[in-house]
A and B are shown apart, each in its own frame.
Chain A
Amino acid sequence: MPIAHEFKYLKAKSLKNAFALMEKHPNYQVLAGGTDLICAIKEGMISPEAVIDIKGLKGLSKIKLSNGELSIGSLVSYSEIIESRTIKSYFPLLKEAAEKVASCGIRNRATMVGNICSAVPCLDAGAPLMVYEATVVVEGKDGERLIPIKEWFVGPRKTSLKAGEIVKEVRIKEPALKHGIAYDKLSRYEGEDLAQATVAVYLDEQNNYRISFGSVAPVPVRASSIENLLNGKALSAELIAQAKILVAQEISPITDIRATKEFRLHMCEVMMERSLKRAQMMLGGK
């Protein structure tokens, strides 16, 4: 299928150059992996005047852990996240989620930062980053801003990134306590599918809980009422049953072609229960 829309392709030589290009072509789109962008242009969903390719920028391609803080550059692909030993050892929730993104040929190209910039409701990375309480580092010509992930997502396809800014990296502090995690995704297929709901769970040895749901509200949500109920308590069947009742208050799923809101709610309850149990087993060393 031909791309009928015509645009300028500009390769940024440096961050500074990127800022200048963005200023000169206000109707721009940033190109990293391109797996969302090219498709959207092809299908006429967006018609940018300029596409600014940032793949040549230095320093945005690294996964680095220093002083207890992980940084994932905006050009890091999902495959690189899966293959990273650092992430596997210290941030396994990211690996679990990344493995469920699309398929190998997409993951070799698609970036996690691109995923959170598209901010489509079906994004995969939202719930895990909410649980890890990540920070998004952006830079514009006026300097750097640090945006907590819970302030990052503003609405479907809307983020707090401003015109003229570029995401440099995502930072995550390594959890201090021994913990277990689990991620689950509702999809119609065992193979590649867009998420109809996601759940990410963290629990640690002091019974602190973090639970986030994705794709069941305009933006990924932290389930604070459930966390409040669970915090400080050891998991039990009774407690899980109480927690499941609260799921309906935390999420606002919609009915669309992929699933009904009733099924999404039901599955969020089931996935949360199963994820909590899995995270607990992991914490127990199983």
Chain B
Amino acid sequence: MSKLKYIGKPTVRVDGKAKVTGAATFVEDIDFGPNLLYAAVVESPYAYAKINSIDTSAAEQAEDVVKVVVGKEFPYRFGLYMHDRYIFAQDYVRFMGEQVAAVIARTPEAAKRAAKLVKVDYTELTPILKVEDALCDHPNLVHPELKSYEHVPWFFPQDDSNIAHFRKIRHGDLDKGFEEADQVFEDVYYVPRYAHCAIEIHGAVGKFDHSGRLTVWTSSQSPHTQRHLFAEALKPLGITHNDVRVITPYVGGGFGGKAGVTMEIIAAALATKVQGHPVKVLWSREQEFYNTYQRQGVVAKMRIGVKNDGTMTAIEQLLYWDAGAYVEYGANVVNAAGLSATGPYRIPNIKIDSVCVYTNLPPGGPYRGFGYSEFLFGLESFVDDIAEKLGIDPIEMRLKNAIKEGDTLAYGGKMNPSGLEQAINKVKKELKWGEKRESKDPHIKTGKGISLFWKAPAMPPNASSTCFLKFNEDASINLLISAMEIGQGYHTVMAQIAAEVLGVPPEKIRGENPDTDRNPYEWQTVASHITWSCGNAVYNAAVDARDQIFDLVERALEKKRDALYLEDMQVKSKDEPEWSVPLRDFIIDGLMMKDGTWRGGPIVGRGMFMPEFASALSNPETGQGGKPNVHYTVGAAGVDIDVDEETGKVKIKKTVLAVDCGKALNPSLVEGQITGGLVQGFATVLYEDMRFSDKGKLLNPNFTDYKIPTVHDIPEKMVPIIIETAQPDGPYGARGVGEHTMIPCAPMIGNAIKDALNVRIKSMPLTAEKIVMSQKNQKK
């Protein structure tokens, strides 16, 4: 490939100016005029209860109330991968905070007041709040009708149980693998639930106009998927895909929390009840914690067989996921983790059970890392402990087993090109591994820890991206694309890709936030697959446009096509260095011939990408036979910490993360993903967790007690390292990097604490309190 002009440069964000000036429009910033109505949702005060009756009469009579809507008005089941939820609860509520009814009023205050007047008569039932209780011999069933639910073909629910999906992986010969081992180790780790905490709260406005058009404005990672699910769920009302339009402006952070469909469907459904009026549903921060998705908790039971030289011979990973009351999205987290729970290791004999368990807690779902952070906490902590028991340096242990290109994956596929070994060695060097940093303060102990990480996009095999690329008169470009600019810098990178192909600088290329009427299809902005997938679509659209330009110039100006190239918004020819024609001279109007007739016309490029090699079909008993994962992004990370042994306070002096992104299309944005991901990851291990009462009530649904790190809580130094082992089918060799940067944080902190204090804590988070108390208990 010739020298790249725009790719690989730290281009300034194309959306940057809109954001630093406050001009960027988020969904709550859109004005809807005097006709706007406001909804307040009535929520379940019980984790599990039967709804006997709902009395809406008092609410209906309250001032400024337009309509009160109850669940039975929408008896439709829907979901992304499994149809197991309703728009509003029907006969049962299955988690505290579940939506039961809604009040639509002329002011938000009136709606909120009237919602309190809706009287719901419940019979409280005993909730299942722990995975163990859900899996006991004769449990209460959270979903007695599970066997009738529609789901994707790669899910395996177990009838008459609370198991919504059971992902099995069997590879090699497990018994033989353990026999070959010199030693076999076992351990159990626990991970609680977490919240995304995007600073922008979910909001949605639905409008069902008098012509039967349903438009929904959302804050979302998935506008097209939302259109599809709205159309599917509301089909009984006669609404079709063609009637539904989803418009999504800038999104104030996603992290998985705005993927799929959660509260947006409430706005869509309520709109149909107040035809002609836009109706706004805006979550409070408390509702945001309860009623979007939560990161699922997991209990991980592991057994690993090793040779005395550190070679892993067998692994058994049993993952039991607290998936909550509805698993329409969360079951796929369970699936993804199950496919990859070996971690980035070459292990010949494998047994993985990844079990999706219904409980009466809020619905689990996607969260940056999609299950990998959860199982890697246990696995990467365990690998350190095994290395210690074998007397092997933890880095040497990892280098010995690290997966390489062409190695066999747990589900039978082959590993893609990867710079894992390079990443490990770079982290080792940067951390000064093996040198103990001394502290002058007698209470401060120092420690270092590392962790490897990997992750593949978890997506249906036919998830696709598309792009329309249209030129304007001055040869500037609008990209009609439908992934979301959620902060990762997607619009900028797409502009850089189109810029590279078309010789138009990125600042002249605008990415358009999606309107499903106008922008072509995109599956969802999740799975760290957008740079790769939509990047390919944009590349293909740009090449399509370039071909049209060259065709025209060849035809109208009789230039040799093979010699043409694009640079600085002009068409040039290798054969004639003096000759050029500016794009703006013909890109809309075409070129005039000597006889006054014109050739060409507005140039519009079209591009599409779908990974035609992927397949989710496999043997349900072994997981072998398909190609569910398109590729893995891998890396290594480490920390050097101070721990105050008296107070338990951890100070991260330095952290290093090396990730193989194939090709850093914009290194500044990759570094942004690294620093941001690290801090979000450290938060999950040092500070955050969702706490529930024994009634299933969330005890910390606010930033006072579920607090995300402040600027004072970040590492003293963060060192991003970019490794580039090209992804053969990626745009300019790129693969995704968004989620990966938070995945190694928990185990590397755990390993550093172990190094500093010789304490191993097996349940997240590793708070100051837990560190101090486990020290005290150890001394007893």
- Chain A interface (Cβ within 8 Å of chain B)? 1-4, 6, 103, 188-194, 257-260, 262-263, 266-267, 270
Task: Known pairs A6-B109, A189-B687; list 7 more (Cβ under 8 Å).
Answer: A1-B285, A2-B109, A190-B710, A190-B713, A259-B769, A260-B773, A270-B646
Q: Which residues of A contact B109 (CB under 8 A)?
A: 2-4, 6
B113 contacts the other chain (Cβ, under 8 Å)?
A: yes
Are B112 and A191 in touch, CB under 8 angstroms?
no
The reply to whether B705 and A257 contact each other, CB–CB distance below 8 Å, is yes
Which one of B284, B704, B709 lies within 8 Å of A1 (CB-CB)?
A: B284
Residues of B within 8 A of A259 (CB): 769
Among residues of B, the one whose C-beta sits closest to the C-beta of A196 is B769
Confirm or deny: B616 has a beta carbon within 8 angstroms of a beta carbon on chain A.
Answer: no
Which residue in chain A gives the minimum CB-CB distance to B116?
A4
Tell me whether chain A's interface is mostly helix, strand or loop, or mixed. loop
Q: Which residue of B lies closest to A2 (CB)?
A: B108
Can you give 23 A-B contacts (C-beta < 8 A)? A1-B284, A2-B107, A2-B108, A3-B109, A4-B109, A4-B113, A6-B109, A188-B768, A189-B687, A189-B709, A189-B710, A189-B712, A189-B713, A190-B713, A191-B710, A191-B713, A192-B710, A193-B707, A257-B691, A259-B769, A260-B773, A266-B772, A266-B776
Q: Indicate the member of A4, A193, A259 with the most B CB atoms within 10 Å.
A: A4
Q: Point out the residues of chain A lying under 8 angstroms from B725, CB to CB.
A: none
**Could you tell me which residues of chain B, from 689 to 748, have a CB within 8 Å of some CB in chain A?**
691, 699-700, 704-705, 707, 709-713
A139 CB, min distance to chain B CBs, angstroms = 33
**Contact B769 A270, beta carbon cutoff 8 Å:** no
- State whether A263 and B773 are in contact (beta carbons under 8 Å apart), knowing that A188-B767, A189-B687, A257-B705 are contacts in the complex: yes
Chain B positions within 8 Å of A262 at CB level: 773
| Nearest Cβ on chain B to A134's Cβ, whole angstroms | 27
CA distance A211 to B21 in the complex (A): 49
Closest A residue, CB atoms, query B700: A257
Is B472 interfacial (CB-CB < 8 Å)? no
Q: How far is the CA of A1 from the CA of B108 in the complex (A)?
A: 8
- For the complex, is B647 an interface residue (Cβ under 8 Å from A)? yes
Residue of A nearest to B711 (CB): A191
* Nearest-neighbor residue (CB-CB) of B687 within chain A: A188
CB-CB under 8 A from B772, the residues of chain A are 263, 266-267
Determine the chain A residues whose CB is within 8 A of the CB of B113 once the complex forms: 4
A194 touches B768 (CB 8 A): no
Interface size of B in residues (CB-CB distance below 8 Å): 27
Minimum CB–CB distance for B28 against chain A, Å: 12
Q: Give Cα A258 to B768, complex, Å.
A: 11
Known: A189-B687, A190-B712. A257 touches B699 (CB 8 A): yes
Cα-based distance from A190 to B710 in the complex (angstroms): 8
Residues of A within 8 A of B769 (CB): 259-260, 263
> Across the interface, which residues of B come within 8 angstroms of A194, CB to CB?
704
Which residues of the other chain, A, contact B767 by a CB distance below 8 angstroms? 188
Please give, as numbers and ranges, the residues of chain A lying within 8 Å of B646 by CB-CB distance.
270
Shortest Cβ gap from A151 to chain B (Å): 30
**B707 close to A189 (CB less than 8 A):** yes
Whether the Cβ atoms of A191 and B712 lie closer than 8 Å is yes
- Nearest chain A CB to B534 CB, angstrom units: 35
Nearest-Cβ distance from residue A11 to partner chain B, whole angstroms: 22
Q: Tell me the bound Cα distance from A189 to B284 in angstroms.
A: 24
- Indicate whether A270 sits within 8 Å of B647 (C-beta atoms), given known contacts A1-B284, A189-B687, A259-B769: yes
Of A194, A259, A263, A270, most B-chain CB atoms within 10 Å = A263
CA distance A193 to B708 in the complex (A): 11
Report A199 CB to chain B, min CB distance, Å: 13
CB distance from B645 to the nearest CB of A (A): 10
The residue in chain A whose Cβ has the minimal distance to the Cβ of B691 is A257
The minimal Cβ–Cβ distance linking A137 to chain B, given in whole angstroms, is 31
Q: How near does chain B come to A174, taking the closest CB pair, in angstroms?
A: 32
User: Whole-angstrom distance between the alpha carbons of A258 and B767 in the complex?
Assistant: 11
Residues on the A chain within 8 Å of B711, using CB: 191
Give chain B nearest CB distance to A241 CB in angstroms: 14
A28 to B: closest C-beta gap in Å: 21
